Structure 1
Amino acid sequence: MITSISRHLSTPIRLQNPKFLLITNFPFSNSSKIEDYWTVLQSDNGYELNLERNLTKIRGNLNGSVVEDIMRRCSIGDRDRSILGLRFFIWAGLQSDYRHRTLMYKRATDIFDISGNPKWFVDILEAYRKEGCLVSVKTFKEILYLCKGAGLAEEALGVLRKMSEFKCMPDTTVFNVVIRLFSEKGDMDVVVGLREEMASLDLYPDMITYAAMIKGFCNVGRLEDAYGLFEIMRQHGCFPNVVAYSAVLDGFCKSGNLDRAMQLLDEMEKEGKVRKPNVVTYTSVIQSFCEKGKITEALAVLDRMNSNGCRPNRITMSILINSLCTEGRIDEAYVLVDKLALDGSVSSGLSFSSLIVSLCWNENVEKAEKLFKKMLASELKPDGLACSSLIKKLCCEERFLDGFVLYCEMEKHGCANTVDSDIYSILLEALCQLGYSQEVVKLVNFMVARRVQLKAPYLDGIVEYIKKSGEVELASHLLTMD
């Protein structure tokens, strides 16, 4: 028996004869529909009257705002009211004139804190059984979508097992939802069992579910099991795509089995357009070779990549350049940058910017500075990471004035807008301490013009310094920027 909800509301809305209002014949606004649905839900006899049948008697189309309003009302109170709210949500999802959007399931799980109350679904199914409600496969799907929204794998499996009690046969969608949840959880033994159970019913996962299974196997290190799914997929007319292949190949790379990764890369290249390796695939292999110090092999994969019509991107280039710089093979890094820029794989600006960043990371600041100035002289704009990395390195070497001069050069060439806001703080604090008041004022003027905010703990001290320099109005601008 459900306790009356009216006492929880600031304004009583319980009507004297709620049963009378269950059948109406005129259109409703959202407000009136909400109140009529609410009247049914807050009735003391909600369970005994068969809640779903009474909800169906209310005329008027449902919409998302009505459903969410009802859910929020039902979430305020005890367990029984929350369960009624969930029953309303499940019922709404079964109506012919309304379908929950995907995000609505996640919203429902949050509103009712389903992850903290996973047994409620069992309670709801038990209520259906006691009341003799008509429960279809669609009803179970609505419950499973809620399990999915809350990430409840075990509960989803329990719901699947309950279907037999209601003489409902699970379909492909039901199995797919449960398999994906266990794949995300990494419990792949359960996944294998569910896939075999599907096969016994002549049902097979869809491409999205196979992809989730492949990822799940890779995440727990069962790479050969992941690879073995490819043949199973083909047998049932579901052909693995480049994403599926790349996931397994990446798994082999991360496990250090580069021989197996190269075998799979060969297979992908021979498979044709659908499974042709992309830039992510090749970059994964290149990164793995670089991490093992096998830069020559990584460069060979780059050549192979180009010969297969796949151009490297900024990430591919950065990995190779940084690896060469780390190994002290600076001259080869310059050759690679020239090569990439020449064949148009990556722009000259991005190529040289990546080299500057790598030189900075590997303590070759002098070479990075020379290359930076050469870029500016050639009208090539270094990117934000190159600008910020070089100035930060100069500051680390306590070459604050050089950092300021370099920043002014950036301003002149139109690339200072990419500098990190933290760089201004570092430079300004140091220039203040060294007493370079003219430089401080000039840099602050640049900041005000670009509306770059100075953050704590630097703000107060620098503002005070600017005021003492006689630039009261400039200090005020720095304080009031938003």
Structure 2
Amino acid sequence: MGLRFFIWAGLQPNYRHTSYMYSNACKLFGINRNPIIVSDVVQAYKGEGCMVGVKAFKVLLSLCREAKLANEALSLLRMMKEFNCRLDTVSYNVVIRLFCEKGDMDEAARLLGEMGLVDLHPDMITYVMMAKGFCDVGRLKDACGLLKVMKGHGCSPNSVLYSALLDGICRFGSPERALEFLGEMEKEGGDCGPNVVTYTSVIQSFCEKGRSLEALSVLDQMEARGCAPNRVTISTLIKGLCLEERVEEAYKLVDKVVGGGSVSSSECYSSLVLSLLRVRKLEEAEKLFRKMLGSGVKPNGLASSTLIRRLCLDGRMLDGFHLYNGIEKLGCLSYIDTDIYSILLAGLCQEKHSAEAAKLARIMLERRIQLKAPYVDNIVEHLKNSEDMELLLRLAS
């Protein structure tokens, strides 16, 4: 009865269920645990001689989509014919999407072919779903073959489809094939031309194969076509160069990008600090970070938190505190992870840097930053022996 009411509500002219409502309905009616309820309600309508229209079927198909029930959605598609409901592309797309997400591309392809038999034409949504589905299971030849199929149906590919295909080639193919496909996109131009996301995918493909210098040439190709790199593009290149011990090239890249203005100096240098830390070049990362603070370049929260945490792990609590002070002067403390305060305070207490510990404790009180549970006992034990009992009581509370 609850499901019937939900279907009835979805048929009202001035109302439409939201995805939130579909999610709640799936939980309330236990559709994942008892998927047969979807077909049972249709059979009940049939037994009572009730007409079930296209709109009602679409409500049930949307429930199947939310619950990821591919087979049940296919059964509903078949039942629509029994009730003389006209099948449409939207209904097929729901079912095809579910089989693509399930990885059953043979069934998805069969449904795609079936659409032509019932005088329906796949749209761009259909082809993009199929392309992603084929790519996800590593069937690149089938995915690329969709271009010829859709052009034969008079449907022109767009950048979304090309990007989906390129993503699959980058994941399962070779960087050379990805570069070749990128060239095809550049020749196609217009709506199919590559954008910053597609170029970044190819750059990442080269970097993951340990070929960051070739990835740099893709960046040059990208900029030559007037497409500016973004933060993800540059951080991917910096990481790749550092992993290959090409730190000097990473510095040159940062100087070039900062000079071009497409990515801020803060993001570029913060990415370089993080990459240096990943390859265990702590001294180099610390030197660069201090240079940033000295020149007024604000580091991002991840770089700041990661470096201070690394210094604390190495037992250099006082150095970590001095870096914290430098960050404070630039006014970017709000970016630091709150657990860094507890780690730093516990370390300062352990090494008996009382003045610095008291200063940090006061800052934590002012900013209402709570102590993390694992560090409370050590910090309180230290402050018991200090002169600032009032600070102890306030911080402990």
Relative to 1, partners in 2 of residues 1:415 and 1:153: Cα closer, same or farther, differing over 3 Å?
Answer: same
Q: Cα distance, 1:191 vs. partner? A: 0.8
Partner of 1:254: 171
Question: What are structure 1's unaligned runs of at least 5 residues?
Answer: 1-83
Q: CA RMSD in A?
A: 1.8
2:284 pairs with 1:367? yes
Relative to 1, partners in 2 of residues 1:98 and 1:442: Cα closer, same or farther, differing over 3 Å?
Answer: closer
Counterpart-to-counterpart distance in 2, 1:405 and 1:172: 63
Counterpart of 1:277 (choices 194, 216, 222) is 194
Q: How does 1:96-107 map to 2 (within 5 A)?
A: 96-107=13-24
Any conservation in 1 of the 2:196–2:227 contact (CA below 8 Å)? Answer: yes
What amino acid is aligned across from residue 206 of structure 1 in structure 2?
D
Q: Cα distance, 1:405 vs. partner? A: 1.7
What amino acid is aligned across from residue 249 of structure 1 in structure 2?
L
What amino acid is aligned across from residue 368 of structure 1 in structure 2?
A
Partner of 1:241: 158
Q: How does 1:28-47 map to 2 (within 5 A)?
A: none
Counterpart-to-counterpart distance in 1, 2:4 and 2:134: 36
Partner of 2:223: 306
Q: Cα distance, 1:151 vs. partner? A: 1.3
TM-score, normalising length from structure 1? 0.78
2:251 pairs with 1:334? yes
Any conservation in 1 of the 2:346–2:379 contact (CA below 8 Å)? Answer: yes
Relative to 1, partners in 2 of residues 1:130 and 1:326: Cα closer, same or farther, differing over 3 Å?
Answer: closer
Any conservation in 2 of the 1:195–1:204 contact (CA below 8 Å)? Answer: no
Relative to 1, partners in 2 of residues 1:232 and 1:353: Cα closer, same or farther, differing over 3 Å?
Answer: same
Partner of 1:383: 300
Q: Deviations over 1:58-93 (max 9, x none)?
A: xxxxxxxxxxxxxxxxxxxxxxxxxx2212222232
Partner of 2:134: 217
Any conservation in 2 of the 1:249–1:261 contact (CA below 8 Å)? Answer: yes
Q: How does 1:19-418 map to 2 (within 5 A)?
A: 84-418=1-335
1:113 aligned counterpart, secondary structure: coil
What amino acid is aligned across from residue 338 of structure 1 in structure 2?
D
Aligned-pair identity (%): 57
Q: Cα distance, 1:360 vs. partner? A: 1.7
Partner of 2:353: 436
Counterpart-to-counterpart distance in 2, 1:99 and 1:410: 50
Which 10-residue stretch deviates more, 101-110 or 368-377? 101-110
Q: Cα distance, 1:314 vs. partner? A: 1.6
1:115 aligned counterpart, secondary structure: coil
Q: Cα distance, 1:282 vs. partner? A: 1.1
Question: What are structure 2's unaligned runs of at least 5 residues?
Answer: none
Partner of 1:20: none
What amino acid is aligned across from residue 178 of structure 1 in structure 2?
V
How many pairs were matched up? 397
TM-score, normalising length from structure 2? 0.94
2:356 aligned counterpart, secondary structure: helix
Q: Deviations over 1:345-398 (max 9, x none)?
A: 211222122111212222222222222222222121122122122222222322
Counterpart-to-counterpart distance in 2, 1:151 and 1:182: 9
Any conservation in 2 of the 1:417–1:450 contact (CA below 8 Å)? Answer: no
What amino acid is aligned across from residue 325 of structure 2 in structure 1?
C
Counterpart-to-counterpart distance in 2, 1:297 and 1:210: 32
Q: Cα distance, 1:475 vs. partner? A: 2.5
Counterpart-to-counterpart distance in 2, 1:97 and 1:252: 45
Which aligned segments of 4 or more residues in structure 1 are displaced greater than 6 angstroms?
Answer: none
Larger radius of gyration: 1
Counterpart-to-counterpart distance in 2, 1:91 and 1:312: 50
Q: Cα distance, 1:313 vs. partner? A: 1.5
